[in-house]
Amino acid sequence: MPKPALHTQSNRPALRATRLHKVYGSVIAVDDVSFTVNRGEIVGLLGPNGAGKTTTINMVLGVLAATAGNVEIDGIDISKQRARALARTNFAAVYAALPGNLTVMENLKFFGLLYGIPSLRLRVEELLQEYDLAHLRHTKCGLLSSGEQTRAALAKALLNRPQLLLLDEPTASLDPSAAQLIRAKIKSLAALDHCGILWTSHNMNEVEAVCDRVLFLSRGKVLLEGNPRTLPHEHGSSTLEDLFIRVAREPLSTIAEAAR
């Protein structure tokens, strides 16, 4: 992987997905999905299982090739300059644990070498301190608690100072106290480092507390978009969780009619 570029502030969104389409045989997994994630913005990608969230994330990461449409990370088309675009992004998920037979420090050094991080020793030490992992540097990741594993995964995801960070259920296995600390870290990352963050979660209280904007996916389509604190009332629901359930069960025309 090439060395990460020196990033500068610009008006380009961290992520622009345009008319993404993914077909598996006769199954349409993602159907004409377009959205942006701006610098310093946390966008929630919501929807029931099978809605197309993971497929969309995998297309953004270049793991899957889109059947149609394109993805730009920091203005770079991933289909034309994949390595350059991916050097500006990173990913963390509860199901994508770091290798358990390596220590925290070994993991950070290994992934740092993959990303070609300059002054790697210094960068690793910064992240160990920032994510309260210094006392665990020689502990194998397989022996860490859920909260410690999440902090280690976030430290790994920030090695290259990404312009775009994708988080798939990052707090799913955490107790409320640990989850609150992780949410605060991520909000600070967006506010202070101007990182664009795409966040998936089934915890609607968390989404309302963290996200600036949400996209509701159902059956591969974006059905609704807006501020998570006002969107439910705009569509005749009392809470974001109630709206989530309705999006999962009802067609968009029914939801739109209820809002009138």
Q: What is the pLDDT of residue 5?
A: 46
Asked whether the whole model's pTM tops 0.85, one would answer yes
CA separation for the pair 85, 89 (Å, rounded)? 7
Q: What is the DSSP letter of 185?
A: H
Q: Which residues pair with 20 in a beta bridge?
A: 33
- CB-CB contact of 125 with 105 (8 Å): no
Averaged over 17-46, what is the pLDDT? 95
pLDDT by residue (tens digit) across 179-238? Answer: 888 889 899 999 988 999 999 988 899 999 999 999 999 889 999 999 999 999 998 899
Pairing type for strands 196-200 and 164-168 reads: parallel
Q: List alpha helices for the chain, DSSP H.
A: 53-60, 82-86, 104-115, 120-130, 146-157, 176-193, 204-210, 231-234, 240-249, 252-259
Domain range list for the chain: 7-85+195-260
CA separation for the pair 64, 68 (Å, rounded)? 11
CATH superfamily of 7-85+195-260: P-loop containing nucleotide triphosphate hydrolases (3.40.50.300)
- CB-CB contact of 45 with 37 (8 Å): no
Pairing type for strands 15-24 and 68-73 reads: antiparallel
pLDDT by residue (tens digit) across 71-93? Answer: 999 999 999 999 999 999 999 98
CA separation for the pair 144, 132 (Å, rounded)? 13
Other CB atoms closer than 10 Å to residue 64's CB: what's the count? 17
DSSP, collapsed to helix, strand or coil, labels residue 60 as helix
Q: Which amino acid would we find at residue 201?
A: S
- CB-CB contact of 61 with 89 (8 Å): yes
Q: What is the pLDDT of residue 200?
A: 92
- CB-CB contact of 169 with 201 (8 Å): yes
Other CB atoms closer than 10 Å to residue 245's CB: what's the count? 14
Q: Is the pLDDT of residue 7 over 80?
A: no
Pairing type for strands 76-77 and 68-73 reads: antiparallel
CA separation for the pair 151, 132 (Å, rounded)? 8
